[in-house]
Amino acid sequence: MIEQIKKHIQEVLAYQTQDTAEIEAFRIKYLGKKGILNDLFAQFKNVPNDQKKEFGQVINELKNAANQKVNDLKETLQNEQDTALTMDLTRPGEPFPMGSRHPINIVKNRIISIFERIGFTLSEGPEIEDDWHNFTALNLPQHHPARDMQDTFFIEKNPDWVLRTHTSSVQIRHLENNRPPLRFLSPGRVYRNEAISSRSHMMFHQIEGLYIDKDVSFADLRQTLSYFTQELFGKSEIRLRPSFFPFTEPSAEVDVYWGLETEADYRMTKGTGWLEIMGCGMVDPNVLKNVNIDPEEFSGYAFGMGIERIALLLYQIGDIRLYTENDIRFLKQFKAELF
């Protein structure tokens, strides 16, 4: 009999529930008028005298354990209900930390967003390109000296195919399959066989823009670039210096006035206050002819920039090699942005 009571004590101590009805059923089972404890107390008179003391002790132990278990279960359940009643269910949950994006992706998306606001769309093309789209159609025929401006990766088994040296090849493909008016951006990776310094890279990112329509002028180009620099850098003062690109005429390098407010400004601008950010120009008539667009009826402007350079300026990154080292301490500084 005593062993049976001890088993009841173990069951009581191990019992768990969060249901009110189950707690009440448990109480009735052990502490009710027809419960286990009343039945045991009724059997007390039949216990031999030499066992009454031990029998009484284990019954009391079972009674105390059952009472304590019922009280503990009710208290736990009440605390949970009180917490639920006092909790502000309209409060937002704990925020999940947003991941990081690569600074090049962030800057690319910002540039695209700025130009999308004035009607530019996107166009993409292959990274392995044929000679026509990468060179010839862009006013760089065979043996043209301007080809030496770009150190090219040629496909060994077929020298007429190359890793594209600029995203201008995407523009040619788009012009071949679409008619003006056209206004689009061509972002993507480009490849140059350069070994200038330990900081140079064979692959980098470009984004180029092209606008073709009737009566497009150099003044339209300047106004577009002024808008862009104001939106991206918060600075609209620009200057255009004469330059040369085979596919534009006239051609220019674009500088933005950065200022000389800090020591970093002096270092970045070499004390001039001006920073070069891109190249641009009016589309050469020969390029339009190569894609069967009449240069007498249509004109256009083009511009292009390296995204790595723009990101270096915006984030004051001191070493371009940080882009490719995948150092988590560097990358986690650039939180995801929505545009």
Task: Return the pLDDT at 32.
Answer: 82
Same domain, 169 and 120: yes
Model confidence band, residue 307 (pLDDT cutoffs 50, 70, 90): very high
State percent of the chain over pLDDT 90: 40
Q: How many domains does the chain have?
A: 2
The verdict on residue 92 lying in a domain is no
Q: Over range 326-331, report the average pLDDT.
A: 85
Look at residue 169 and tell me whether its pLDDT is greater than 90. Answer: yes
Residue 269 three-state SS: helix
Model confidence band, residue 198 (pLDDT cutoffs 50, 70, 90): very low
Same domain, 174 and 43: no
The verdict on residue 129 lying in a domain is yes
The verdict on residue 84 lying in a domain is no
The CATH number of whichever domain residue 218 belongs to comes to: 3.30.930.10
Same domain, 314 and 220: yes
pTM (2 d.p.)? 0.67
Residue appearing with tokens 């009735």? 28
Spatial neighbors of 135 by CB under 8 A, at least 6 apart, are 141, 144, 147
Q: Over range 283-304, report the average pLDDT.
A: 95
Contact 129, 152 (CB under 8 A): no
Same domain, 164 and 231: yes
Same domain, 129 and 231: yes
Model confidence band, residue 153 (pLDDT cutoffs 50, 70, 90): confident
Q: Over range 161-174, report the average pLDDT.
A: 92
The verdict on residue 12 lying in a domain is yes
Model confidence band, residue 84 (pLDDT cutoffs 50, 70, 90): low
Task: Return the pLDDT at 80.
Answer: 75
Same domain, 218 and 295: yes
Same domain, 107 and 59: no
249 is an annotated ligand-binding site residue: yes
User: For residue range 249-258, what is the model confidence (pLDDT) as tens digits?
Assistant: 999 999 999 8
d(C-alpha 250, C-alpha 323), whole Å: 34
Task: Return the pLDDT at 150.
Answer: 60
Same domain, 109 and 202: yes
Q: In this structure, what token pair is assigned to residue 63? A: 């009674």
The verdict on residue 48 lying in a domain is yes
Same domain, 153 and 55: no
Range of the domain at 19: 1-77
* Mean pLDDT of the residues in the chain: 85
The verdict on residue 317 lying in a domain is yes
The verdict on residue 83 lying in a domain is no
Q: Which has the higher per-residue pLDDT, 337 or 56?
A: 56
Look at residue 148 and tell me whether its pLDDT is greater than 70. Answer: no
**Number of CB atoms found within 10 A of residue 200's CB:** 12
Look at residue 97 and tell me whether its pLDDT is greater than 80. Answer: no
Look at residue 82 and tell me whether its pLDDT is greater than 70. Answer: no
Same domain, 107 and 67: no
The verdict on residue 87 lying in a domain is no
Task: Return the pLDDT at 207.
Answer: 96
Same domain, 200 and 277: yes
**DSSP for 66-127, written as a single string:** HHHHHHHHHHHHHHHHHHHHHS-TTS--PPPPP-B--HHHHHHHHHHHHHHTTT-EE----S
Model confidence band, residue 54 (pLDDT cutoffs 50, 70, 90): confident
- Closest Cα to residue 31, out of 6, 58, 66? 66
